[in-house]
Chains A and B, each alone.
Chain A
Amino acid sequence: MTEYLILIYERESGYAEGGQEAWEASGKAHARFAEQVGEKGGKMLGGNALQPTATATSIRDDVVTDGPFAETKEALGGYYLIEARDLDHALDIAKLCPAPYGGVEVRPVMDVSAYMG
């Protein structure tokens, strides 16, 4: 089994415009997804939703600036850490991850044990 991070990228305006209803629908969809990971034979190791990019602060060369590291149309809004057999299995699971205003990126987690001695 390998660990994969599912990064959720969405247009923040989608939720801003959708209001309370959009948030509730999203809450239900994510609760369902958390169950589906196990049903698909994977393992949910963790995950969180992030506050919008308006709350982000970036630091580059010790200079602190307001805003996200990179301005993109679709911003990182949350993530899940899952365990899956291989990339096909991880993609199979990630396809179920709700992201109505964008999409998700799947990244394998590096095994750093080889570099840690």
Chain B
Amino acid sequence: MTPKPEPEPDQDVGAAVADAHRREWAYVLAATARVARDIDLAEECVQDAYVAALDAWSRQGVPRNPAAWLTTTARRRALDRLRRDRTLRSKLPLLIEPEPETGPGAEAEEPVAADDDVIADDRLRLVFTCCHPALAREAQVALTLRLVCGLATAEIAQAFLVSEPTMAARVTRAKKKISAARIPYRVPAAAELPDRLDAVLTVVHLLYTTGHTAPAGPDLVRADLVERALGLARMLRDLMPDEPEVRGLLALLLLSDARRATRAGADGRLLLLEEQDREQWDRAAIAEGAGLVTEALRGGRPGRFTLQAAIAAVHAEAPSYAETDWPQLLRLYEELLKAWPTPVVALNRIVPLAMTAGPDSALAEIERIERDGRLVGYRYLPAAKADLLRRLGRWDDAAAQYRIALDLTDNAAERAFLAGRLDEAAARAAGGD
């Protein structure tokens, strides 16, 4: 499904279609779903429209407004299919409120041509439907990639390291639930918006982190997922410009991604923040991200994405690791812990705590987090503990923690880093210095 358009002899047209696929898929699908009132039918018609574009654009040239061309074509196909097979509509209804001029049985009069220039933007409805809390997180992620980004099932399966049939079943199950349980196709009301928006932002953030640190395999960064997450964050910012947390998320992704080129050495080894070449950080992305943080911090209590972005901005704007504003970071982590009290945030607070209060205090705090028990099996806990023990010169204890961390880590770049540290700690322990 969702075939990426095959490259045609005319490279420009192929590129234009690929570009429209990347940029306009969500818009075209959402606008088509309004007519098709069925996600599966809308998807098929949009795929057909992209295939048709390759041929038509080669002959007639790339239209001035590719999204409008694709939407009109996909909507026409949907109407044709509905006329041919009226039962389709009752089989898999998508809860779309009828457009004012369209009563039951009036699809034949659907003014496809008339509203080419004013097609309602339904992308937000699509996003909120894909990220509905009645769907499991993994289904939300899969549906978002499939319906909002237009990725093929095989591509999504590859990104999440599951087999294609498994991913296909996941997508089908989720679509069935949308239809059978009648998950509505709408942007939630103001009262529910904060919770529902948080789910959407969490899905986009999860896509980013999955791409940023692939859980297994040789590449530390899976660039396509990172690009998709950034694209979604930008789309959400355009569609909901007044939501501070939407700005916060985009800022967080930009600021983290600004360091992408420096996260691993030429040999693929993971580089720590203190080892990274700050000259190579993407200054434009940092400036954009920092500007968004400033805007998001204005007015009201900042949410977790804004606070995480503020933390990333402090790191990104520090001239060197040593000159990082650690007291400011500690304050931000304490606010973040209040907004989002999770053991992972408590663990991340260890770094500025160690820098301001010393490794002894940080070690006491990490042991408290350890006793809490919620981070059992979380690879970054023994890794962080090992680092503190290393700095305290407790090489035996450090080596033991590096071994635990190594057992919990599948990512090749992270494993190489931990193995290097383990060798060093073991040698120092044996050498007795």
Residues of A within 8 A of B (CB): 2, 85-88, 91, 106, 108, 110, 114
Contacts and interface: CB of A to CB of B under 8 A. Distances in A.
A92 to B, nearest CB: 9
A110 B181 CA distance: 9
Contacts of A91: 134
B134 A108 contact: no
B182 A86 contact: yes
A11 B247 CA distance: 44
Contacts of B183: 86-88
Contacts of B181: 87, 106, 108
- A-side interface mostly: mixed
Contact of B134 (A2, A85, A87, A114): A87
A86 B183 CA distance: 6
Interface residues of B, number: 12
Contacts of A88: 183-184, 186, 188, 192
B389 to A, nearest CB: 41
B184 A86 contact: yes
Contacts of B369: none
Contacts, number: 24
- B-side interface mostly: loop
Interface string B192-226: 10000000000000000000000000000000000
A88 B195 CA distance: 13
Nearest to A92: B192
17 contacts: A2-B182, A85-B184, A86-B182, A86-B183, A86-B184, A87-B132, A87-B134, A87-B181, A87-B183, A87-B184, A88-B183, A88-B186, A88-B192, A91-B134, A108-B181, A110-B180, A114-B91
Between B134, B181, B184, B192, the greatest number of chain A beta carbons within 10 A of the residue's beta carbon is seen for: B181
9 nearest CB pairs, A to B: A86-B184, A86-B182, A108-B181, A87-B181, A87-B183, A2-B182, A88-B184, A87-B182, A108-B180
Interface of B: 91, 95, 132, 134, 180-184, 186, 188, 192
Nearest to B192: A88
Given A87-B183, A110-B180, 15 more contacts: A2-B182, A86-B95, A86-B182, A86-B184, A87-B132, A87-B134, A87-B181, A87-B184, A88-B184, A88-B188, A88-B192, A106-B181, A108-B180, A108-B182, A114-B91
A85 B188 CA distance: 14
A4 B192 CA distance: 21
Contacts of B186: 88
A2 B93 CA distance: 12
A29 B91 CA distance: 38
A91 B133 CA distance: 11
A2 to B, nearest CB: 5
Contacts of A86: 95, 182-184
B50 to A, nearest CB: 31
Contacts of B182: 2, 86-87, 108
A88 B182 CA distance: 9
Contacts of B95: 86
A105 B192 CA distance: 20
A85 B183 CA distance: 10
Contacts of B188: 88
A113 to B, nearest CB: 10
Contacts of B180: 108, 110
Contacts of B91: 114
A7 B192 CA distance: 24
Between A85, A106, A108, the greatest number of chain B beta carbons within 10 A of the residue's beta carbon is seen for: A108
Nearest to B91: A114
Contacts of A87: 132, 134, 181-184
Nearest to B196: A88
A108 B178 CA distance: 11
A106 B91 CA distance: 22
A82 to B, nearest CB: 13
A62 B95 CA distance: 42
A2 B181 CA distance: 9
A34 to B, nearest CB: 23
